[in-house]
Structure 1
Amino acid sequence: MSTTPGATGLAKAMMPVPDPHPDVFDIQWPLRVADVDREGRLKFDAATRHIQDIGTDQLREMGYEDTHPLWIVRRTMIDMIEPVVFKDMLRLRRWCSGTSNRWCEMRVRIEGRKGGLIESEAFWININRETQGPARISDDFIEGLRRTTDENRLRWKPYLRAGSREDAEHIRDYPVRVSDIDIFDHMNNSVYWSVVEDYLYSQPELMSAPVRVTIEHDLPVALGDKLEIIRHVHPAGSTDKFGEELSDRTVTTLTYAVGNETKAVAAIFPL
């Protein structure tokens, strides 16, 4: 990996797993056929579903499923270090890497018994059921989360900006299906990663080495929205706008837009 310790933004180095540690949630389940692509690789959208599912499982295990049931992801960063392949058994470990009063960053490491490694970090906001706004996390819950991190003043800072239609390399429609909509009446987080999979299919060289993909969410996508994917490719030498650590590589961005509203932005680059 060429992420730099101490770097911030898209080039940040993720917190290493504090193993062994009693507050790292550790679980295993098999890699299923619906999780993999035609070559048997665990897909980004499937990995994102696993990241969501282990979060629910840990919440239940910690005893906060009823008091803190609603969480919205603001950003997810995934490093595909080495593909995990079909018929393997997944080991997932989840722990907190940063907290504040109303949100936290949670790390998930996904490994295959036979090899393969995916690292991820997601910025989760605790949501009040009535107001649908950010809600304070209970003191006892935060105390448990902080056992794996020293970062207790976590702040939100966006890493990405939307790309414009005027200078886009490519724009395409992405029909929103009924099956894409989840219990919150929004397009599920994992569907955004299906868009990434579509792009990576046309860029096989990107998957021949470790790759980092980051998606930041601004507004939800609803059924009936005319969603467009606006693509920009920023060649090496022009990418210091993402941080000087990335000036030596190409960064591709995908802007998820409905009319003039930016719904999300993704960034893709080799590690």
Structure 2
Amino acid sequence: MRVQLSTEQGGLIETEGFWINLNAQSGMPARITESFEQMLGSTAENKKLRWKPMITETPGENDHNVPFPLRSVDIDLLGHVNNAVYLQAVEDVLTHRPELTAIPTRTAIEYLAPTAPDSDLQLAVRHEDKSFTAWFAIDGKTHAQARVAPLD
């Protein structure tokens, strides 16, 4: 689903995401009902997306690598790390990149695998001249990745 929010003053937020309906009793994915799709679809520009990663690079030995400890508040009702946790790390990196907060940027966060609450999550960050890329890994396997770069 693609959603675009704009203001009369020129502000613009564009998002892409996939809908997943979770069964309230089992917590497992369930079929999206027609009424649910109509309600959410009223805000969406394009309801049919095919995902392919925007970030194709992998972390390297020269990237800044630190532990990224998880807190109890980072865990959702299904026992997984809430996806918003990755945005917290992106915001933390942005505090060291004021030139990226002064201009319009595109932030992409890609979720590749669920992260369990007891995971030893590592954050690797690669700084480039006009952007940065971050990888969230467990035992060398990337579970999520993010990039912040100026709009084209």
State the match for 1:267 in structure 2: 147
- Report deviation, 1:173: 1.1
Q: Is the 8 A contact 2:3 2:45 kept in 1?
A: no
Q: Normalization by structure 1: what TM-score?
A: 0.47
- Report deviation, 1:207: 1.1
Q: Is the 8 A contact 1:206 1:270 kept in 2?
A: yes
2:17 pairs with 1:123: yes
Q: 1:144 to 1:159 in 2, by over 3 A?
A: same
- Greater per-residue helix proportion: 1
**Structure 2: distance between partners of 1:195 and 1:173:** 11
State the match for 1:193 in structure 2: 87
Q: 1:127 to 1:150 in 2, by over 3 A?
A: closer
2:3 pairs with 1:107: yes
Sequence identity of aligned pairs in percent?
A: 30
- Given candidates 115, 123, 140, the residue that maps to 1:229 is 123
- Given candidates 203, 209, 216, the residue that maps to 2:103 is 209
**Structure 1: distance between partners of 2:89 and 2:31:** 33
Aligned length: 149
Which structure: larger Rg? Answer: 1
Please give the secondary structure, in 2, of the residue aligned with 1:125. coil
Structure-to-structure mapping, 1:44-55, within 5 angstroms = none
Consecutive unaligned residues in structure 2, runs of 5 or more: none
Which amino acid letter does the alignment assign opposite residue 135 of structure 2?
Answer: T
Compute the RMSD of aligned alpha carbons: 2.9
2:50 pairs with 1:170: no
Consecutive unaligned residues in structure 1, runs of 5 or more: 1-104, 236-249
- Report deviation, 1:199: 0.6
- Moved runs in structure 1, 4+ residues, more than 6 A? none
Structure-to-structure mapping, 1:1-271, within 5 angstroms = 105-107=1-3, 109=5, 117-129=11-23, 130=26, 132-133=28-29, 135-143=30-38, 145-146=40-41, 151=46, 153-161=48-56, 163-166=58-61, 168-235=62-129, 250-271=130-151
**Structure 2: distance between partners of 1:153 and 1:118:** 22
